[in-house]
Amino acid sequence: MSHSLSVRTAAAVLFLVGFAGLAACSASPGEKKAEVEAGEYERGPHGGRLLRDGDFALEVKIFEEGPEPLYRLYAFLKDRPVDPRQVQATIALTRLGGRLDRFAFTAAEDYLTSPTVVAEPHSFDVSVAATHAGQAHSWSYPSYEGRTVITPDAAQAGGVKTERAGSAYLGESLPLQGRIEITPEGQSEVHARYPGRVMTLSVQLGDRVRRGQVVARVESSESLQTYSITAPISGVIMAKNTNVGSITGNGDPMLVIGDPNQVHAEFFLYPRDAERVRVGQRVEVVSLAGDHRINALIEAILPTADITSQTLIAHVHLPSQNGAWRPGLGVRGTVQVATSAAPLAVRTRAIQPFRDFQVVYAKVGNTYEVRMLELGRRTPEWTEVLGGLEPGTEYVVDSAFLIRADIEKSGASHDH
């Protein structure tokens, strides 16, 4: 096990142990009683929570067998059903962060119902009021799911980091493979102006030369006059096709000079990708060793495909970086083929599974709670949010799995 993994594991243990100690030591007697009551309440004949006040009782149930979860209330007097038309009732839900949801009820069959959907998460403080035969009754209780409280020290020990949810640009990318090559402008062939014998050659393969430097002297076969040959550009001798005493001027270059500071990346585009890659798109170029990387633009795409490999070539200009990009070496690239704005998005790594939902964990003070998300487009970095989260919500980005583990350990289940 690596040292970094050991540190992360120890931090996770401290995080969970720290929260367990907090829960055991900081809860007041009243809070502890509320937790017991929230988990061990009396149930009515329909499986809901039964609230009693003297002889009158009201069963509160979230009916989730239809297309949307809705409240249903069943009234009883001395444990016998009461005509729902004789009861007036309201419910107020106070959610984490202070949002208040109100429900008004009307009679339907043998129960009271509200047309207002009980939005996820079903985690709130509940206030119920009912009137029957001129008598007013009221109850309040917590009903939490996917919620936990963690101290700042425990969160820091666990590596928990948060961000504010907002807009983001979602980029669709393609991986590319290529190599570094000297640009056409960065290389030149050296030819003899007149056929003749090479009398002197002052450079060797790999030597650096400057523009205008004399690199050879040739005796013309016609005039027997000796003339000088100079380097047309500055660079390095990349190829040497002649020696002293050789006859030159037959069309082949004597020397090839290349400037290793004038390079570009040549990426291979296969048919399935070629139609999506365009001049001007941004590419992240990375050396195979990963030591060098740069963001650059596609400057040209050659119009003719290689017959054997059936690939096109895309050229990406690379500025001089003191020999960081060596001609002939392979490189990887990632090209952004499409970018669009998402009005609301979260970091993809922040998304966690919870029941049948994909969620992030919102943070309010020291309290963390699930937010069930309706998701849209997804990239490795960002995921679009279509519903379930308010813009500006602070949510957990790093170590969200620790929040999930703590909630699962504490047993904050889907129960009403």
Span 75-132, pLDDT tens digits: 999 999 999 999 999 999 999 999 999 999 999 999 999 999 999 999 999 999 999 9
Q: Residue 359 in contact with residue 373, Cβ under 8 Å?
A: yes
Helix (H) or strand (E) holding 299: strand 293-301
Q: Is the pLDDT of residue 33 over 70?
A: no
In this prediction, what percent of the chain has a pLDDT beyond 70?
89
Among residues 405, 399, 394, the alpha carbon closest in space to that of 20 is found at: 405
Q: Domain for residue 376, yes or no?
A: no
Q: Domain for residue 136, yes or no?
A: yes
What's the confidence (pLDDT) of residue 323? 72
Q: Is the pLDDT of residue 15 over 70?
A: no
Q: Residue 95 in contact with residue 146, Cβ under 8 Å?
A: no
How far does the chain reach from its first CA to its final CA, in angstroms? Answer: 44
Q: Is the pLDDT of residue 7 over 60?
A: no
Beta-bridge mates of residue 345: 166, 384
What's the confidence (pLDDT) of residue 338? 77
Q: Domain for residue 355, yes or no?
A: no
Q: Domain for residue 309, yes or no?
A: yes
If asked whether residues 58 and 110 sit together in one domain, one would say yes
Helix (H) or strand (E) holding 153: helix 152-157
Q: Domain for residue 296, yes or no?
A: yes
Q: What one-letter code names the amino acid at 206?
A: G
* 207 vs 323, more confident: 207
If asked whether residues 70 and 91 sit together in one domain, one would say yes
Helix (H) or strand (E) holding 274: helix 271-274
Output the six-digit token pair for 397.
Answer: 């980005």
Last residue of a domain, one of 304, 334, 364: 334
Q: Residue 409 in contact with residue 387, Cβ under 8 Å?
A: no
DSSP 8-state class, residue 348: G
Beta-bridge mates of residue 101: 93
Q: ∠ at Cα 207 (206, 210), nearest 5°?
A: 130
What's the confidence (pLDDT) of residue 412? 54
What's the confidence (pLDDT) of residue 16? 45
Q: Domain for residue 344, yes or no?
A: no
If asked whether residues 297 and 209 sit together in one domain, one would say no
172 Cβ partners below 8 Å, 6+ apart? Answer: 336, 337, 338, 339, 379
Q: Domain for residue 158, yes or no?
A: no
Last residue of a domain, one of 209, 229, 258: 258
Output the six-digit token pair for 322.
Answer: 């003191």
DSSP 8-state class, residue 239: E
Q: What is the CATH number of the domain that holds 51?
A: 2.60.40
Q: What is the Cα Rg of the chain in Å? A: 37
pLDDT in tens, 53-66: 999 999 999 999 88
Q: What one-letter code names the amino acid at 334?
A: T
In this prediction, what percent of the chain has a pLDDT beyond 90?
69
pLDDT in tens, 127-178: 999 999 999 999 999 999 999 999 999 999 999 999 999 999 888 788 999 9
Q: What is the mean pLDDT of residues 66-70?
A: 91
Q: What is the CATH number of the domain that holds 219?
A: 2.40.50.100
Q: Residue 198 in contact with residue 242, Cβ under 8 Å?
A: yes
If asked whether residues 137 and 49 sit together in one domain, one would say yes
pLDDT in tens, 250-291: 788 999 999 998 999 999 998 888 888 999 988 999 988 778
Residue ranges making up the domain that contains 109: 44-143
Q: Residue 189 in contact with residue 256, Cβ under 8 Å?
A: yes
Q: Domain for residue 110, yes or no?
A: yes
pLDDT grade, residue 34 (50/70/90)?
Answer: very low
Return d(Cα 330, Cα 249) in angstroms, integer.
35
If asked whether residues 225 and 310 sit together in one domain, one would say no
What three-state secondary structure class fits 17?
helix
Tally of CB atoms within 10 A around 164: 9
Among residues 380, 265, 381, 273, the alpha carbon closest in space to that of 332 is found at: 265
What three-state secondary structure class fits 36?
helix
Q: What are residue 272's phi and psi, to 5 degrees?
A: -70, -20
Q: What are residue 48's phi and psi, to 5 degrees?
A: -90, 180
Number of domains in the chain: 3
Q: Which of 212-216, 257-261, 319-323, 361-365 is least confident?
A: 319-323
Q: What is the CATH number of the domain that holds 330?
A: 2.40.30.170
Helix (H) or strand (E) holding 408: helix 400-410
If asked whether residues 193 and 253 sit together in one domain, one would say yes
If asked whether residues 132 and 80 sit together in one domain, one would say yes
What's the confidence (pLDDT) of residue 194? 92
Q: What one-letter code names the amino acid at 186?
A: G
Return d(Cα 373, Cα 272) in angstroms, integer.
33
If asked whether residues 300 and 249 sit together in one domain, one would say no
